[in-house]
Structure 1
Amino acid sequence: DGAQPEPLGFLALYESYALYAEGSFGTIPELFVRPAYRSSGVGATLISEAQGVGQARGWSRIEVTTPPLPQFDRTLAFYQQQGFSISGGRKLKIDL
């Protein structure tokens, strides 16, 4: 029928630089998996691919931030299952 398959999910990955990271590192500002495909390995595959990109680019780490709200407890647990650890710090913003 010529219909294009829809993606199961996506991950945005950016390269950043900071003194505390001693050079370049990755940041994941967005990871989304369609609800029907959650807990099926799609998110883990996306994280694994991001790690491969980071290793190829010589990054020291990949960082991700989740809001400190109860509705994100499952998200936090997912990232910890993928090997992420809580590194502290505070996220701040300024509205423009």
Structure 2
Amino acid sequence: MTTSDAHGPNASTRGIRIAVPDDAATAARLQVEFAEEFDTPTPSREVLEPRFRRLIADPDGFVLFAGDDAGGGDPTGYALVTLRPTVYCDGPLAVLDELYVMPALRGSGIGTTLLEHAIAEVLRRGGGEMHINVDEIDVDARRFYERHGFVNVEPGTDYRMLCYIRELA
């Protein structure tokens, strides 16, 4: 997960909307562009599109688009959030799987607006906590999330939380 952003003069005027299943191709395109920019592996658009369609249709996930004027233009950024049950809070635990802003527009407040809307939507759905995985070397993304109150040290401890991954298929 990578992003870079700051509050900007136009941050509050950016339109944010929740995607509908027919937006799956747009979400897949943005995900591929994101992966290509950071040279990270990702499935093709053809593989991602049905996955996004299912995720967007499921109440346990959502995609937000920024700056596409309610579907009338190309989005300038997007956020992908999934929700799952947990014993650690009363509502679902949210995972901000992706947050991407087009490179030329970073620093204009779009990422902040997307993150704020994602948090608001998670709260609206009864969520109690949000997790974000960030590559250690991605200093810009780490600063961004820390500026918005996210920490990589569990409150009451002095050691970092780690995320372990194992591909199962």
TM value normalised by structure 2: 0.50
**Correspondence 1:93 to 2:166:** yes
**Residue 78 of structure 1 aligns with which residue?**
144
What is the CA-CA distance between 1:89 and the residue it aligns to? 3.2
**Residue 43 of structure 1 aligns with which residue?**
111
Higher relative contact order (CA 8 A, sep 6+): 2
Whole-Å separation in 2 of the counterparts to 1:59 and 1:11: 16
Structure 2 unmatched runs, 5+: 1-71, 155-160
C-alpha RMSD of matched pairs (Å): 1.6
Say which SS state the counterpart of residue 166 (structure 2) adopts: coil
Say which SS state the counterpart of residue 118 (structure 2) adopts: helix
- What letter corresponds to residue 8 of structure 1 in structure 2? T
Alignment check: 8 A CA contact 2:97 2:133 kept:
yes
Alignment check: 8 A CA contact 2:76 2:105 kept:
yes
- What letter corresponds to residue 35 of structure 1 in structure 2? P
Q: 1:1-96 to 2 correspondence within 5 Å?
A: 4-21=72-89, 23-68=91-136, 70=137, 72-86=138-152, 87=154, 88-96=161-169
Whole-Å separation in 2 of the counterparts to 1:94 and 1:36: 33
Whole-Å separation in 2 of the counterparts to 1:42 and 1:16: 26
Q: Deviations over 1:16-66 (max 9, x none)?
A: 122244541111111110011101100000000011111111111111101
Say which SS state the counterpart of residue 18 (structure 1) adopts: coil
Whole-Å separation in 2 of the counterparts to 1:76 and 1:93: 23
What is the CA-CA distance between 1:83 and the residue it aligns to? 1.4
Whole-Å separation in 2 of the counterparts to 1:35 and 1:6: 14
% identical aligned pairs? 24
Whole-Å separation in 2 of the counterparts to 1:34 and 1:51: 21
4+ long deviations beyond 3 Å: 20-23
Say which SS state the counterpart of residue 46 (structure 1) adopts: helix
- What letter corresponds to residue 124 of structure 2 in structure 1? A
Structure 1 unmatched runs, 5+: none
- What letter corresponds to residue 163 of structure 2 in structure 1? R
Count of aligned pairs: 91
